[in-house]
Structure 1
């Protein structure tokens, strides 16, 4: 780990995710991997433009997709409010994003509108429902593609990082398993921004926080997977998830990356091991694997995410957030920042988020 400050790691998580988003604009959603290679060559090593008629047609290399645009709206709302305020974020969706949508997937800023955002738009704009009553059942990473902002912001307060991640997720996705997996991802980001390692013991450390009442998951077993004590009751401090398995799955993926007896070459093929589709339960294990496989190389982590094909954009967003949180913003190769549309401004915002996170941590410790 090259970064020594919380601010650097928080900024790295944010900018790393946005870079991952932009890397996916060209080669997004190629499920025929032979077609991906014909279109983009044997190895994608930077920003590319989408082919005519493909997703995100019309965007330029380095542009953000709609996922990145929404993450930037959340980032802006946090910086303007000095913290996470759901009303500030939803006001930006209402005022800045939704007027540009019409419910057609291929319309709207960023070249494509995801299922959960389309459902939220319909309920909010067409049905005139209130926030809190517009979420849908999409099983995608849509919320995970933005909650790294609040998870990084509140990294030193695990409960707040997790509940802010959960509450932001539930604005647009209300499936409890999706919310659990997304909240677990936010908890991992927070841990890495705090300076913890993405190692085989990370799930045990997260479970320890559950037992301390510092994460909103329930758990009945004791540390080490030992059975519950006779007469013990289930611990459910503020939990609203069906199980704690979203936390235990992190170490499983990490161990597969660290186990010398497991060989996956090139590492991009992890996408075929866990699955190419969009669902969050395919995406997160691959992202955890790649970030653990390349703990000292942001570039290797995100490029293997992109070169795996399928829903490679989401995989690169999640991997970029994890790798950026591990290494810090200064370990991100400059070419990824200079090639990013409005890269200097996005870097400024990411560093501002990092400073805010550090300030909040300092105030809480005072």
Structure 2
């Protein structure tokens, strides 16, 4: 495995874990007072969405990404049925926060649908944000990567725009691993053609803010989970901080809202671009489950 493929996955997990304590806090003044300047992991407050979690652990997005990585390692590639079985085993009785997309997906599974038809109608970016392990595993087979990125997303988020966003970010990350500059990789991924999501418009909106303050730009896009707001926010993050992964993830947390989904994707893209040396060692050392993540990566 290349160093940058490993960095891509680890940086995605770091982006999620760094957002844990502040996830879904929308008051940017309060965020800066409590978490600024974001030097490391922070535990969530007892009354927050992730109150049972400890610093360095993952949100429910990161935990589902972890399930996908384990499935890939166990099966030697993407197997939707295995991913679904592992996802159900973890998310039924999950001890963390269960969002609306997860609750609806669990209900649809309980109605007897299989993983190809189990997805909620959620338009949250989170369904597309789990894909770093897939890019790592399938980077040498683009058609298989695209199909897997779409399938894993549809399993929980059966929304055309979210599914197409997963394809876009998978294509972009793979192009970065292939050696393309980040901006060129994003442009190449946008050329694939998308029937439902206005990918080129969202990409252009993010690119236009590349010189702006991150908190201001994301506040204008919208801090929420919804893809029309979160997609251009991810583009802003990676273009504004394309040479500084740590600052990218710090500013992502301070921008508030659904920082975990944005952090997974921004970490993935900049990890693929900049490599392991861009991730602060203290962040790697404090990452929950790091040893088993790296073991699964070796198994790929």
Same fold (TM > 0.5) = yes
Give, in angstroms, the shift of residue 248 of structure 1.
5.8
Alignment match, 1:253: 206
> Are 1:171 and 2:119 an aligned pair?
no
Aligned residues: 300
Give, in angstroms, the shift of residue 158 of structure 1.
2.7
Give, in angstroms, the shift of residue 130 of structure 1.
2.5
Match of 2:248 among 275, 297, 301: 301
Match of 2:146 among 162, 186, 189: 162
Alignment match, 2:212: 264
> Are 1:30 and 2:25 an aligned pair?
yes
Alignment match, 1:121: 106
**1 CA distance for matches of 2:270 and 2:174?**
12
Give yes or no for contact 1:337–1:347 (8 Å, CA) kept in 2: no
**2 CA distance for matches of 1:325 and 1:80?**
23
Match of 1:326 among 273, 284, 287: 273
Relative to 1, partners in 2 of residues 1:334 and 1:203: Cα closer, same or farther, differing over 3 Å? closer
**Paired residue secondary structure (1:142):** helix
Which of 1 and 2 has greater Rg?
A: 1
> Are 1:55 and 2:49 an aligned pair?
yes
Alignment match, 2:58: 64
Give, in angstroms, the shift of residue 247 of structure 1.
4.9
**1 CA distance for matches of 2:205 and 2:151?**
26
**1 CA distance for matches of 2:8 and 2:207?**
18
Any unmatched runs of 5+ in structure 1?
1-5, 101-107, 211-216, 219-240, 258-262, 357-366
**Paired residue secondary structure (2:271):** helix
Give, in angstroms, the shift of residue 17 of structure 1.
1.0
Relative to 1, partners in 2 of residues 1:330 and 1:203: Cα closer, same or farther, differing over 3 Å? closer
What RMSD in Å do the two structures reach over aligned CA positions? 2.1
Give, in angstroms, the shift of residue 303 of structure 1.
0.9
Per the normalisation by structure 2, the TM-score is 0.91
**Paired residue secondary structure (2:157):** coil
Relative to 1, partners in 2 of residues 1:330 and 1:34: Cα closer, same or farther, differing over 3 Å? closer
Per the normalisation by structure 1, the TM-score is 0.76
Give, in angstroms, the shift of residue 56 of structure 1.
0.5
Give yes or no for contact 1:151–1:162 (8 Å, CA) kept in 2: no
